[in-house]
Structure 1
Amino acid sequence: MYPHKSSNFHIMMFPWFAFGHMIPFLHLSNKLAEKDHSIIFLLPEKAQKQLQHFNLHPHLITFHPLKIPPVDGLPAGAQIASEIPLSLTNLLFIARDRTKDQVKAVITATKPKIVIDDSSYWLQEITKPIGIKTINYRITSAAESAFVMVPASNFHKVRSLTKDELAVPPKGYPSKTVVLRPHETRFFSFISHVFAEGISIIERVTTSMKECDVIAIRTCREIEGKFCDYIASQYNKPVLLTGPALPEPSKKPLEERWGKWLGGFQPGSVVFCAFGSEFILEKDQFQELLLGFESTNLPFFLALKPPVGATTVEEAFPDGFEERIKGRGVVWSGWVQQVSILDHPSVGCFVSHCGFGSMWESLMSDCQIVLVPQHGDQFFNTRLMADELKVAVEVEREDNGWFSKESLCKAIKSTMDKDNEVGNMIKENHAEWKDTLLKPSFMSDYIDKFVQDMQQLVK
């Protein structure tokens, strides 16, 4: 049932029950398994089948499914964040809390050297008495943790962050540009006000960060070094970096129908858009987005979920849209091979929500980058890319967060116009960062250093 005892180092992974957390934890697990370290990976029963294909080393990475207990108000059978609305997140945290005895039993039975977690405020109650070290692994940007988790860590358990407080950088924060705008504070205010059994979601994270032995972040010093140093100084503990910890590019060819469709256009002419597997737009914003792509007069491929209230993307199309874009536009609601599409020679621009995984993938592509952040760390990632690294263009928004078809079209055209000064600047900057990130030893050096630091931690 458990990994073989001859492995170099035994680790337990316990990510939050969302694919946006479990998948990065599994990517890191694969990198560690390459070094012959064994991993017990705790996850909801329902997630095991969906994540199995990401496990590249099943002889070293063992999934241990947890039975998720029922909670009043949580839909029957719900085990993963994508199965519930954001408003019920607190109930899923309660369900996670109620797996504590199962987690303790696995830790006791397997005796890992280290447990890597992201949001279990009670984990150290299990690990500290038996001398097991813990790492809080931040899979979002260091800038987000520096801006939000530092001030939150100073609050009493019943204290909540207000929208006004979230609009102001904390004392000593090392950037004037990677900040939240007033309309972007709602998500973080929400998670600081939503309580599950007496403790807010944001308090759970900051307690885990305060009580762990070491904080680790899925980033690199070249891009976010100053934010990592700030977190280390404020939490008064080491901050280790894993680098992006991305999987090796898939050798599976692009699906034939998409390869054939993209192949019908000139090199660098197609605009690709994807907003991740979980985010869903309101119908009016979804339609405005589509009209914005139509108005570019460029070929486009959109991979989007149906908007709120719709079961298919087609039923939410603006009047006459499908006929007008026939032959030059695709709107697809199924899964696509994002990295393979970005690598296709016909694709010249990537319009993204700037989730952390998509951020790294865009930096390693040759595509121009246009950003439309939706919530959470995406705002910080966008400011980092557009304002600090200057490798992307952010779509302008109104004070309430709405973006118009005109602002979307303007941003895309500014990057795709070969004579545009901004477009040429971000292309040059992007090329320099891509060269840095794709150096042969860049990724492996970070993992090697992370492994060394973990071994030092348990000496």
Structure 2
Amino acid sequence: MCKGINLTEFDLMIPPKGYPISSFNLYSHEAKFLALKRNFEFGSGVIFYDRLFIGLSLSDAIWFKGCREIEGSYVDYLEQEFGKPVLLSGPDGSLVYCALGSEWKLSQDQFHELLLGLELTCYPFLAILKPPVGFETVEDALPEGFKERVKEKGIVDSGWIQQQLILEHSSVGCFVTHCGAGSLTEGLINNCQMVELKAGVEVKKGKEDGLFTKESVCEAVKIVMDDENEIGREVRNNHDKLRKLLLSHDLESSCVGVFCEKLQELTRRFSN
């Protein structure tokens, strides 16, 4: 990450030198999105890239919600790149639970594809989604005849929900998520399998346009819900390992302890 260098979408599709996973590559639509967002202006006329770079460069330390046992190689990479400590505070069925965060709005077409995909699975589902772009309510945006067809097995709402309590319920077997940091941790410490979105299965999207279909949503859900599916078994095994790690008695106190020690060390260093 270098201030002032105008990276193209093609540059962004190649992992930077020293990045932990050299086989990781962005799809074309993801690189285009990042290239566009780079120049997106926040308040005071500061573009997204400058705001991010200034914050990371001028801070005494970088803090993330995570733990070294899972993200250690990325922590080492950031510490080397920015020459400063990275602090980690640690981690705070049959029903398909779907939620894409409090800010994510789908287009009407993608909203329909997601719901129709959930319907295709034939599993009962609870979807908590914001109304798609151009609509005031979820009700107005539902596919034609959808509400009547799924009335015995599906609920779609846009209200606030106590997600952790939902995920803790034994009925929830699959979590379709946008993989925000909070949702990711909440999903991992519960028994539901995550779609996406080796502890989840990605919903296939077009490499150029980044769009998913009802068939790809249905396929991903069925993979993690099928006890006989080889990929599903691998996902469940990996998920179980991460769940045990995140729920271990000493992990959170250890992460918080290291976090506090590093803060104290930084305080002493800059007070001298």
TM-score range, shorter-chain basis? over 0.9
Q: Which residue does 2:40 correspond to in 1?
A: 194
Q: Which residue does 2:264 correspond to in 1?
A: 455
CA distance, structure 2, for counterparts of residue 353 and residue 309 of structure 1: 21
Q: Which residue does 1:213 correspond to in 2?
A: 60
2:117 to 292, 300, 306: 292
> Structure 1 residue 182 and structure 2 residue 7: aligned?
no
Equivalent runs, 1:93-104 vs 2, <5 Å: none
> Structure 1 residue 423 and structure 2 residue 232: aligned?
yes
Q: Which amino acid aligns with 2:104?
A: F
**CA pair 177-367 structure 1, distance change in 2 beyond 3 A:** farther
Cα deviation for residue 395 of structure 1 reads 0.6
Q: Which residue does 2:3 correspond to in 1?
A: 155
Q: Answer whether contact 2:3 2:53 (CA < 8 A) is retained.
A: no
Equivalent runs, 1:27-426 vs 2, <5 Å: 151=1, 154-156=2-4, 159-195=5-41, 199-244=46-91, 246=92, 268-372=93-197, 390-399=198-207, 400-426=209-235
Please say which structure displays the higher CA radius of gyration.
Answer: 1
Q: Kindly, what percent of the aligned residue pairs are identical?
A: 45
**CA pair 323-194 structure 1, distance change in 2 beyond 3 A:** closer
Cα deviation for residue 177 of structure 1 reads 4.5
Partner SS state of residue 174, structure 2:
strand
CA distance, structure 2, for counterparts of residue 179 and residue 230 of structure 1: 17
CA distance, structure 1, for counterparts of residue 33 and residue 103 of structure 2: 15
Partner SS state of residue 324, structure 1:
helix
Q: Answer whether contact 2:15 2:24 (CA < 8 A) is retained.
A: no
Q: Which residue does 1:440 correspond to in 2?
A: 249
CA distance, structure 2, for counterparts of residue 198 and residue 178 of structure 1: 33
**CA pair 365-177 structure 1, distance change in 2 beyond 3 A:** farther
Gaps of 5+ in 1: 1-150, 247-267, 373-389
Cα deviation for residue 172 of structure 1 reads 1.2
CA distance, structure 1, for counterparts of residue 200 and residue 155 of structure 2: 24
Cα deviation for residue 199 of structure 1 reads 4.5
Instruction: Let me know the Cα RMSD of the aligned residues.
Output: 1.5
Q: Answer whether contact 1:163 1:185 (CA < 8 A) is retained.
A: yes
CA distance, structure 1, for counterparts of residue 263 and residue 59 of structure 2: 13
TM-score under structure 1 length normalisation: 0.56
Cα deviation digits, residues 210-266 of structure 1 (max 9, x gap):
12222222221111111111111111122222223x2xxxxxxxxxxxxxxxxxxxx
Cα deviation for residue 277 of structure 1 reads 0.7
**CA pair 209-288 structure 1, distance change in 2 beyond 3 A:** same
CA distance, structure 2, for counterparts of residue 315 and residue 177 of structure 1: 43
Q: Answer whether contact 1:348 1:416 (CA < 8 A) is retained.
A: yes
CA distance, structure 2, for counterparts of residue 194 and residue 365 of structure 1: 36
Report how many residues are paired.
266
Gaps of 5+ in 2: none
